[in-house]
Structure 1
């Protein structure tokens, strides 16, 4: 007698069936997508402080360091945090699940579009076309003026982080500066209590996503690692009027009847989906 398939296998089979009828792929991704690549998990102070013990010692949580006021109070500490993250994201290789998503999109007439709250640039690094990525919170790979003196946004390519990771402090002679006024620069990221984020790049991405959405009739959404503390990505996926495949180790539950829930990490679930669909990655 054949043993009954596990709940995981059943969920993978249902998800594969949804993907098989879709003409476009919408990838919605939160912080959990990067965990399998070795990126730190900032959900909750425990995970955040494990990654940045100097901030734990000072009692500084994520909301206080990921805040424009941190650049005013202690610019070298703020840039120690963001400079470390910039170097980390540059050095991190996207895990195998990214290649699965690319292959799934390539097999559909409308291709794929990514909507992510992550600021790490990992989808572009994995080969997704920049014009098919919407970064709702901006990108660490671009900068803006802290003041701000104007609305300019520019690449962070010239920034070479020099960091004392133990102290979470920028040790370089000069902090990143605005090319217009010479004042302090900051990442072009939507932070906490942030009223001066230049959203123009993200706004342009959103318009491209809305235009693309009109070109596909039967898209499927694959949501990966989207948390409930800041649930913007979960809300986006649930509002897209398309079948939703939610992949999440901690909070996989879905609104009744909306799609398929897979309680697993992104890499494992996507690898299983590739196998179920006969994709060679």
Structure 2
């Protein structure tokens, strides 16, 4: 249970900060209506055809399928691309922008929600890449490019049908510019350039507050960044309805969903 005192403390950290670093995991998208992939059962509830095939998220999010079974690979990623394009970011994204503080984002999400909500692309560090960008599966040397039209999907089999995305350089198969499991061919130059710029900006802030939203322990990339960025000041706000604990004891843990927490904080900040 999150107390009013904890919310007040978190609101004070934001109110008194000169800049904000938002560290966002998959839980940030749940309030926008995106499926919760927590555990294999959660993934299979969102995608029943994969339950019938016995395929887990980690098995599908593997670049090997683009070579071995491209219609299966593009059925999975094509459906996600279409879903993310049609999803509107929840009001919590706009609450953060409304605080009118210099803000940067570090996220493991590939959905482009922060950019759609109005955050400048150069301020959003996507550590795992973006589904809205493509790369050549054969690594022909073509630079990363913006994704084109939606891929047609057979909803019963979750396989792509018709023409698959192709590389404008060599004409071969394209794949999303996402860092997948066991991925040694990811072209990370685009993401890494923004990551470097955000990291440089972070180290230049004297009074930085870190807001971690929807990041869990299963893949702790986002949690490690939020703890690193707040190590000097202890100004960490961790928002997670299931795993809010802060083991090093510094900061404020809020056992709430992202939208609920941001709404509560906004009410307090505006009240002064």
Task: Establish whether TM, by shorter chain, passes 0.5.
Answer: yes
Name stretches of at least 5 consecutive residues in structure 2 with no aligned partner.
none
Separation in 1, partners of 2:262, 2:38: 22
1:118 pairs with one of 106, 109, 113:
109
Following superposition of structure 1 onto structure 2, how do residues 167-246 of structure 1 map, counting pairs within 5 Å? 167-171=157-161, 173-240=162-229, 241=231, 242=233, 243-246=235-238
Contact 1:53 1:166 in 2 (8 A): no
Q: 3-state SS of the aligned residue for 2:3?
A: helix
TM-score, reference length from structure 1:
0.92
Aligned partner of 1:270 in structure 2 is 262
Aligned partner of 2:155 in structure 1 is 165
Aligned partner of 2:72 in structure 1 is 77
Q: Is 2:12 the partner of 1:12?
A: no
Contact 1:115 1:135 in 2 (8 A): yes
Separation in 2, partners of 1:16, 1:31: 23
Q: 3-state SS of the aligned residue for 1:13?
A: helix
- Cα distance per residue 1:49-80 (max 9 Å; x no partner): 11111111111111111010111221111101
Q: Is 2:50 the partner of 1:58?
A: no
Contact 1:8 1:263 in 2 (8 A): no
- Cα distance per residue 1:175-195 (max 9 Å; x no partner): 001111111100000000100
Give the CA deviation at 1:212: 1.5
Separation in 2, partners of 1:70, 1:48: 18
TM-score, reference length from structure 2:
0.95
What count of residue pairs does the alignment treat as equivalent?
Answer: 269
Q: 3-state SS of the aligned residue for 1:278?
A: helix
1:95 pairs with one of 90, 97, 110:
90
* Cα RMSD (Å): 1.4
Separation in 2, partners of 1:251, 1:31: 13
Aligned partner of 1:136 in structure 2 is 127
Separation in 2, partners of 1:159, 1:179: 14
